[in-house]
Chains A and B, each alone.
Chain A
Amino acid sequence: MTTKNILLTGVGGQGTILASKLLTEGLLSQGYDVKMSEVHGMSQREGPVLTHVRFGEQVFSPIVEAKKADVIIGFEELEVLRNLEYLREDGKGVVILNRVRVNPIGVQNGSDKYPENVAELISTRAGKVIAMDASEEARKLGNLRVMNIILLGASVRQLGLEEIDWGKVIAENVKAQYVELNQQAFELGKSLS
C-alpha cells in the first residue's frame, strides 16, 4: 500500500492530541508502520496545533508533504484554511470540517475579520467535505470535551479503517469513567460521516 497522510488541525485545548493518540494506537494495532509529528506554538492557551500522522508498510518522513494529505481532520475552520495547501489536488482529498470558530485575538478586537467563505474555499478544493458541528453534537451527549472523538469517528470511514476495534482502542487509552461516553461519541461521529 502507499503511505496515507492525515493532518489534524485545530487550536490548543480542542483535544487534537488525544484524537491523534487514539488514531495512532488504532493504526499500530493493525500492524502498520506509523509516524507522527506535532507542531504547536508556545505554551500559551489556544495556539494553533497541527499534527501529522502517516501510516503504511514503511514510513520514512514524519511530516506530511505539501499537496499530499489524503484527509484533513479539521477541528477549527480557520486552522483548516491555514493548512489547506497540504490537501492533495487531484480531487481525492477529504476534509472533515468541524463548523467551529475560535476567534483569534485580532477578530476579537476588530483588527481582523474572520473569513466568511471558509466552507466554500474548502469545498472547491477538496474532493469531499464532511461538515458537522461536533461541538453541538458533543453537547447533546452531555460533554463538550468529546468533540474530538466525534471527529475521529467521522474520519475513520473516510480513511477505510473501520475494521480496527476502536472500542477497544478507546477502552485502553481513556480513563475508565469516560470510556463509555467516548465510545458513544465515536459511534456518533461514524454515523455522521
Chain B
Amino acid sequence: MKQLITGDEAVARGAWEAGVRFASAYPGTPSTEILENIATYKEIHSEWAPNEKTALESVIGASLAGARAIASMKHVGLNVAADPFFTFAYMGVNAGAVVVTADEPGQFSSQNEQDNRNYAKAAMTPMFEPSDSQECKDMLLEAFEISEKHDIPVLFRMTTRVCHSKSLVELGERQDVPIKPYVKNIKKYVAVPANARPMKVKVQENQAILRFYSNNCQWNRIEMNEPNIGIICSGDCYLYAREVFGDGASYLKLGFTNPLPDDLIREFASKVEKIYIIEENDPYIEDHVRALGIACDGKNIFPLNGEMKPEVIRSVMFGEEYTLDDEVRAAVIPRPPTLCAGCPHRGFFYELGRRKNVMVSGDIGCYTLASGAPYHAMETTVCMGASISLGHGAQQIFDTIEGNKMRVVSVIGDSTFFHTGINSLLDVAYNKSNLITVVLDNRITAMTGQQDNPGTGLTIQGEITEAVSIEAIARAFGFKNVRVIDPNQLSEVKETLDWALALQEPSVIITRWPCALKKQNALDKEEFKGSFTSVYWVNEEVCIGCKKCTRTGCPAIVFQFEKKKSSIDPEKCVGCSVCAQVCPVHAIRKVEA
C-alpha cells in the first residue's frame, strides 16, 4: 500500500519496519515529528530525553543491550550530542544504531545554518542523505544493516524540505529483529586511550571498506542523458536539479555520502563534458571532487547560503532573472510571530523591559520573541542553556567594575532549563555570581508544538511520571533566594524583580503558568483551575486612547484609529488580564458571566 507521508513520518515508519525497539530525541524543528510518529508504534519504547546528548547516550546503551535504536535531533542538537557521537563511532554497536540529523538550509527556525555532513566526515561514520520520503524509509532500513555489518553508528542526514515534504511511500511490514545478547567486552566499550587507539584504526579501516560500498551501492547512481552537463547532487537538491534540467543533463545522484564514491565520481567525470555540484550549505561534495583533481563548478557560481531552490539554480545556470515585482513588494507588510493571547511570558517581559541598568541574557524558545517589539527585553541568544552561563560570565565581569550598577537577568524556559540550563545554574551556585535567573515555566515545551518534558509529569507515550520541581533543584543547589510567582500578576512580577535586584547575592525566580495553547493534564487542571476561561472588554466611555494596552503586544488587542479607542477581540482573549492591569483608567474589565 502506498501512502503520501512526510520524510519525518517515513523515518518513523522505517524505524518501525527495521525492528527498532528504542527511540530517544529532544524536540527541534524540523526533526520533532520523527519521534512523535515513532511513539505511536507500541513496539518501540520512545522517550523525550532532556537533551540530545542524553538521547544519544541512551541509544548507545540500548544498542549495547542488543536492541536496534534511533536518536533524532535538529542540526544544532548534534553539537550537544557530538561528544558521545564521536566516541560511539570508535566503539561501534551491538545492535544497529542510527543518528538522524535534520539540517536547516535557509534557517527557517534555527540559530545557524551549519552543515552536519561535516560530522560524518569528522567522526568517520557512514552517512545517508535521502531525497524524498520513499528514500527516507528505504535508506533507514539499509542504515541499520550497514550499522550492524560495519559495527558503527550511521548518520542519517535530512534537511527541512525532506523532513516536511510529502511524497508517496510503499509501506512494508515490521521485521522481526530479536534482541541480541549483551556480551561484556571491556576492550570494545571502554574508551580509555589503550583501547581507543586500536578502535580508531578499526574505524579508519572501515572507511576503506565502506568506500567500496559507496562505489557500488544502489543509493549512488549515474543517470546518463545529455553528456554536456553533468550534475552531482544529493538530498533535495537532486529533485530541484531534475526539475530544472529534466533529461537535458546527466546526474550523479548521491544517497550514501560518507565516504564519497571516488571511482563513481571519476567515472561520471569521464562521461560528461562539464561538472556542476549542486548542494545546499557547505561545499561538502565539491571539496571532495576538487581534491580528486576533477574540475567543476560549485559554490564559485552557486550561492553559499539558503536553499538551492529551482529558481535559484535556473537563475545561476541560465541567467533567468527572477525579477521582483516592486509594486507588490511595497504593498506587503510583515506578519511577525507574536506571543499568543494569554501567553504567560507577556506579563513578565512587559515588566522586565521597563528596567534600567539590566542586561537580559536570553535563550531559545517562544520567549526569544521578547527580543523584538514591543518588549525589547532580551539582548543575547546563543544556544540552548546559554542564558544562565553567559549571564553568569557577564555578571562576574560587571561586578569587577568599580561602582557597577549593571545586573544580569538570565531568562530561560522550563524545557530549555532541563535541557542544559541545569548545568549552567550549577555554575552560578558554585562560582557565586550575583545573577538573577528566571525560569519561565509554562509547563510544556511550547515552541516546537507542545511536547512533554521532565517537568510536566507525562512521558511521550502518555505514562504518568515524576514532575521534576525546578524550585527543589534550585534549593538543592544551595540558592537561598528562590521565588515562584504568577507572571500574569504584574504587581507580583514588579515586586519580585525589585526584591531580586536589591539582593547582593544570586536569586532564582520561577514564573509558573501554563502555555495558553497547552492541552492541560489532570495536574494542570487542578493547579490552574479556571485559567483561560474569562474574557475582557474595553469600556469605550472610559478608554482615553493612550494605547498603553497595545504595548503589551497582545494579538487580541485592536486599536480603533477612527474612534481613538482600544478594543479586545473576544474570539482571541483568554482572560490573562495583563492589559487590564496596564490600563491607567481601568477601562478594561472582565466580562461578567
Residue ranges of A at the interface with B (Cβ–Cβ < 8 Å) = 11, 24-25, 28, 33-39, 41-48, 59-63, 65-67, 78-79, 81-82, 84-85, 103-115, 117-118, 121, 125
Contacts and interface: CB of A to CB of B under 8 A. Distances in A.
A30 to B, nearest CB: 13
Given A45-B340, A61-B240, A63-B161, A108 B559 contact: yes
A79 B447 CA distance: 22
B165 interface: yes
B588 to A, nearest CB: 15
B328 interface: yes
B325 interface: yes
B324 A85 contact: yes
A65 B108 CA distance: 18
B288 to A, nearest CB: 25
Contacts of B332: 78, 81-82, 115
A81 B446 contact: no
B166 A35 contact: yes
B4 A37 contact: no
B325 A84 contact: yes
Contacts of A65: 243, 309-311, 314
Nearest to B339: A44
Nearest to A52: B165
Contact of B325 (A63, A79, A108, A125): A125
B341 A63 contact: no
B333 A85 contact: no
Interface of B: 4, 29, 108-109, 132, 161, 164-168, 236, 239-240, 242-243, 309-311, 314, 322, 324-325, 327-328, 331-341, 366, 369, 373-374, 446-450, 517, 547, 550-551, 553, 555, 557-559, 561, 572
29 contacts: A24-B166, A28-B4, A28-B168, A35-B166, A35-B167, A37-B165, A43-B448, A43-B450, A44-B338, A44-B369, A60-B240, A61-B239, A61-B310, A62-B165, A62-B239, A63-B161, A63-B310, A65-B309, A65-B310, A65-B314, A66-B311, A66-B322, A103-B558, A109-B550, A109-B551, A110-B559, A112-B333, A117-B331, A125-B328
A15 B561 CA distance: 30
A160 B447 CA distance: 39
B333 A105 contact: no
Contact of B168 (A11, A33, A46, A118): A33
Given A85-B328, A109-B547, A42 B165 contact: no
A106 to B, nearest CB: 6
B327 A45 contact: no
Nearest to B567: A108
Instruction: Pick the 8 closest A-B CB pairs, nearest first.
Output: A62-B165, A61-B243, A60-B242, A37-B165, A109-B550, A115-B331, A104-B335, A65-B310
Given A34-B167, A44-B366, 14 more contacts: A35-B132, A37-B164, A38-B165, A45-B555, A60-B240, A62-B239, A67-B311, A78-B333, A85-B322, A104-B336, A105-B336, A106-B334, A113-B333, A121-B331
Interface of B is mostly: loop
Nearest to B557: A108
A39 B553 contact: no
Contacts of A42: 29, 109, 337, 366, 447
Contacts of B309: 63, 65-66
B511 to A, nearest CB: 18
A74 B551 CA distance: 31
Contacts of B325: 84-85, 125
A115 B339 contact: no
B165 A35 contact: yes
A82 B242 CA distance: 27
Contact of B333 (A61, A63, A104): A104
Contact of B4 (A36, A39, A81, A117): A36
Contacts of B335: 11, 46-48, 78-79, 82, 104
Contacts of B341: 45
B446 A67 contact: no
Contacts of B558: 103, 108
B156 to A, nearest CB: 19
Contacts of B336: 104-106
Contact of B327 (A38, A82, A121): A121
A121 B328 contact: yes
A133 B331 CA distance: 22
A121 B329 CA distance: 11
Contacts of B340: 44-45
A5 B211 CA distance: 40
B555 A108 contact: yes
Nearest to A33: B168
A84 B326 CA distance: 12
Given A78-B332, A104-B334, A63 B165 contact: yes
A96 B164 CA distance: 25
Contacts of B450: 43
B328 A110 contact: no
A122 to B, nearest CB: 9
Contacts of B240: 60-61
A125 to B, nearest CB: 7
A105 B338 contact: yes
A17 B4 CA distance: 14
Contacts of B550: 108-110
A34 B4 contact: yes
Contact of B166 (A44, A60, A62, A107): A62
A118 B328 CA distance: 9
A24 B6 CA distance: 13
Nearest to B330: A115
A11 B336 CA distance: 12
B481 to A, nearest CB: 32
Contacts of B334: 104, 106, 112
A42 B324 CA distance: 26
A118 B322 contact: no
Given A37-B164, A110-B561, A67 B338 contact: no
B331 A39 contact: no
B331 A118 contact: yes
Tell me which of A11, A41, A42, A62 has the highest count of chain B C-beta atoms within 10 A of its own C-beta: A62
Contacts of B242: 60-61
Contacts of B551: 109
Given A39-B164, A112-B334, A105 B553 contact: yes
